[in-house]
A and B are shown apart, each in its own frame.
Chain A
Amino acid sequence: MLDLYSPGGSLLHRLPPAAKMLAMMLGATLLFINQSLPLTVAATLVILALYPIAQLTLKQAFAQVRPLLIIFMLFFAVQWYFSGLELAAYVVLRLAALILLASLVTLTTKSSDMIDSMTRGLRYLQPLGVNPEKVSLAISLALRFIPVLAQITREVREAQKTRGLERSVIAVAMPLAIRAIKMADEISDAIDSRGYRS
Chain B
Amino acid sequence: MIKLQDVSVSFGKRTVLDNLSLDLTERRIAVIGANGSGKSTFARLLNGLALPTTGEVLVDQLNTRKKGRDVRRKVGFVFQNPDNQIVMPVVEEDLAFGMKNLGFSKADIASKTDEILARYNMSDLREHPAHLLSGGQKQLLAISGVLVMTPDIVVMDEPTTLLDLRNKRRVARAVAALDQMVITVTHDLDLIADYDRVIAIDEGRIFADGAPAEVIPAYERLMA
- Residue ranges of A at the interface with B (Cβ–Cβ < 8 Å): 2-3, 5, 7, 110-112, 140-141, 143-144, 147-148, 151, 183, 186-187, 189-197
Contacts and interface: CB of A to CB of B under 8 A. Distances in A.
Contact of A7 (B77, B89, B127): B127
B131 to A, nearest CB: 4
Given A193-B47, A196-B101, A197-B101, A140 B131 contact: no
A194 B131 contact: no
A194 B145 contact: yes
B85 interface: yes
A144 B141 CA distance: 14
B87 A190 contact: yes
B178 to A, nearest CB: 17
A144 B88 contact: yes
Interface residue SS majority, chain A:
helix
A3 B132 CA distance: 9
Nearest to A139: B89
Interface stretch (B1-9, B29-37, B91-99, B203-211): B91-99
Given A144-B130, A193-B47, A112 B88 contact: yes
Contacts of B44: 189
B98 A111 contact: no
B90 to A, nearest CB: 6
Given A186-B79, A193-B49, A194-B98, A3 B131 contact: yes
A30 B83 CA distance: 41
A194 B149 contact: yes
B199 to A, nearest CB: 22
Considering the complex of A and B, which 6 residue pairs feature the smallest CB-CB distances, nearest first? A195-B101, A3-B129, A194-B98, A147-B131, A186-B84, A143-B89
B81 interface: yes
B79 A144 contact: no
Interface of B: 44, 47, 49, 69, 72-73, 76-77, 79, 81, 83-90, 92-93, 96-98, 101-102, 127, 129-132, 145-146, 149
Contacts of B145: 194
B98 A195 contact: yes
19 contacts: A3-B131, A5-B127, A111-B89, A111-B93, A140-B87, A141-B87, A183-B83, A186-B81, A186-B85, A189-B77, A190-B77, A190-B85, A193-B49, A193-B72, A193-B76, A194-B87, A195-B102, A195-B149, A197-B101
A190 B79 contact: yes
Contacts of A7: 127
A147 B138 CA distance: 14
Contact of A112 (B96, B132, B146): B96
B72 A110 contact: no
A195 B102 CA distance: 6
- Of B76, B87, B90, chain A has the most CB atoms within 10 Å of the CB of B87
A140 B89 contact: yes
Nearest to B80: A186
Contacts of B101: 194-197
Contacts of A151: 131
Contact of B89 (A2, A191, A193): A2
Given A3-B131, A147-B131, A192 B84 contact: no
